[in-house]
């Protein structure tokens, strides 16, 4: 591209992180999507953080917390797991949980803690139903979905995560089995439930009616009850494919994966898989029209500008019109800093960047282009000159 433009930012979202036991380690009542056929260890979490550190991003890891339950609090919330009131996690719980929690608190710039669920399904008298937050049979939220969140929070608190993570509760969320009740403004809906607890950034594969949901929404994003829900591209990779990098680039802002896709069958081989992931993510970052998101805030903010702002070239600079950005994006705080890409021929003449409409907080030279990080000073826009 030869004119200044606002690229799409891609965030890596990894589901089904957090479970300890391998696929075959539990009985038939223990239903969940397979992750990998071995016990998971701290190194499996570090592998994600290491990938994030190398490419300069903080991937979302959507976690299930039942295996982290030190105090058997899940017994008080019998629909969260397969043992009901008889829940006993003592055989699974161990020192490994402390190491994992330290990783999340000490390396928050490299790996993001994201809500997925307690044990991924919803149990009635020990029988699993797919979709922890919403009943997949009728699309309605489970009546005690709020209790499942209370259970999730209680397990976080056992390990001080409510105190030591960047926010007391995660700002990002992925619905189990992608069962998400989208009813903007309905207090029972999934978005309203999550927003009440501080979630802002959600993603899901889209169904057709969702695209029409709100007049303030573009084709691959929907404002919902205080959340901004972005369309997830599964990028052709199945949840059960271990050590699998996609063979194409994502078409939306969300590269949606599962934990097993990022790991090797043997832990010792994780680094080799990570190398392939690093190469793939760098390919996204180098692709025309795309950049890697530094974190969820950047990804979701970038979506707003990419979808609704207009850039036009002018002499010695460009003009960015923000008037098309919906009120909700401003009111709900989604329109923050964003990336503007310039052709690298701009670099030769660039001495000083001047703008009355934007704060310039970053200038980064890349092969073929220059990337500016801009934060708006108003909701109208204006010129950037160099």
Sheet holding 338-343, edge to edge: 338-343, 369-376, 358-366
Query: Which of 14/350 has CB closer to Zn ion?
Result: 14
Query: Which of 78/131 has CB closer to Zn ion?
Result: 131
Tokens of residue 305, six digits: 């500008």
Q: How many residues bind Zn ion (CB under 5 A)?
A: 3
Q: Among the candidate windows 7-15, 74-82, 127-135, 365-373, which touches Zn ion by CB under 5 A? A: 7-15
* Residue 31 CB, nearest approach to Zn ion (Å): 12
Among 294, 319, 320, 317, CA closest to 305: 320
Query: Which of 17/372 has CB closer to Zn ion?
Result: 17
Distance between the two ends of the chain, CA-based, in angstroms?
A: 19
* Residue 205 CB, nearest approach to Zn ion (Å): 12
Q: Among the candidate windows 86-94, 130-138, 169-177, 196-204, which touches Zn ion by CB under 5 A? A: 169-177
Query: Which of 169/177 has CB closer to Zn ion?
Result: 177
**Mask: binding to Zn ion, 175-214, rule CB under 5 A, as x and -?**
-x--------------------------------------
Strands, E assignment, the chain: 8-17, 60-64, 112-117, 121-124, 127-130, 172-173, 201-204, 221-224, 227-233, 254-258, 290-292, 310-314, 317-321, 338-343, 358-366, 369-376, 381-385
Q: Does 16 bind Zn ion (CB under 5 A)?
A: yes
Query: Which of 119/176 has CB closer to Zn ion?
Result: 176
Site for Zn ion in 211-250 (CB under 5 A): none
b/e per residue, 90-126, with b = 16+ CB within 10 A? eebbeebbeebbebbeebbebbbbbbbbbbbbbbeee
* Residue 33 CB, nearest approach to Zn ion (Å): 6
Q: Among the candidate windows 172-180, 274-282, 324-332, 356-364, which touches Zn ion by CB under 5 A? A: 172-180
Q: Does 15 bind Zn ion (CB under 5 A)?
A: yes
Tell me how far apart the alpha carbons of residues 222 and 307 are, in angstroms, rounded to a whole number.
11
Residues that bind Zn ion (CB under 5 A): 15-16, 176
């Amino acid at each position: 591209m030869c004119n200044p433009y606002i690229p799409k930012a891609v965030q890596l979202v990894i589901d089904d992180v957090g479970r300890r036991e391998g696929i075959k380690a539990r009985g038939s009542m223990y239903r969940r999507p397979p992750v990998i056929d071995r016990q998971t260890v701290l190194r499996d979490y570090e592998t994600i953080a290491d990938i994030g550190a190398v490419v300069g991003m903080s991937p979302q890891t959507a976690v299930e917390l039942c295996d982290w339950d030190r105090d058997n609090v899940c017994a008080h919330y019998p629909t969260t797991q397969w043992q009901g009131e008889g829940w006993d996690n003592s055989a699974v719980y161990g020192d490994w949980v402390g190491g994992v929690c330290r990783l999340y608190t000490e390396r928050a710039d490299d790996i993001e803690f994201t809500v997925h669920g307690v044990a991924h399904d919803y149990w009635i008298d020990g029988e699993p139903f797919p979709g922890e937050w919403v009943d997949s049979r009728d699309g309605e939220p489970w009546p005690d979905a709020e209790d499942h969140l209370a259970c999730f929070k209680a397990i976080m608190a056992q390990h001080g995560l409510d105190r030591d993570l960047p926010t007391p509760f995660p700002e990002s969320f992925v619905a189990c089995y992608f069962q998400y009740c989208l009813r903007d403004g309905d207090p029972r809906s999934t978005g309203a439930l999550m927003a009440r607890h501080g979630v802002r950034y959600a993603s899901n594969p889209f169904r057709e009616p969702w695209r029409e949901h709100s007049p303030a929404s573009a084709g691959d994003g929907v404002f919902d009850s205080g959340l901004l829900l972005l369309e997830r591209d599964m990028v052709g990779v199945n949840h059960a494919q271990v050590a699998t990098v996609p063979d194409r680039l994502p078409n939306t802002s969300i590269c949606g994966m599962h934990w097993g896709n990022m790991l090797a069958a043997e832990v010792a081989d994780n680094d080799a898989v990570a190398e392939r992931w690093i190469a793939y993510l760098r390919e996204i970052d180098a692709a025309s029209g795309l950049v890697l998101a530094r974190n969820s805030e950047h990804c979701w903010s970038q979506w707003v500008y990419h979808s609704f702002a207009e850039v036009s070239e002018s002499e010695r600079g460009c003009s960015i019109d923000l008037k098309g950005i919906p009120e909700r994006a401003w009111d709900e705080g989604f329109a923050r800093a964003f990336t503007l890409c310039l052709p690298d021929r701009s670099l030769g003449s660039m001495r000083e960047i001047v703008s009355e409409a934007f704060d310039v907080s970053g200038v980064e030279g890349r092969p073929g282009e220059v990337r500016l990080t801009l934060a708006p000073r108003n909701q109208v826009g204006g010129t950037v000159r160099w």
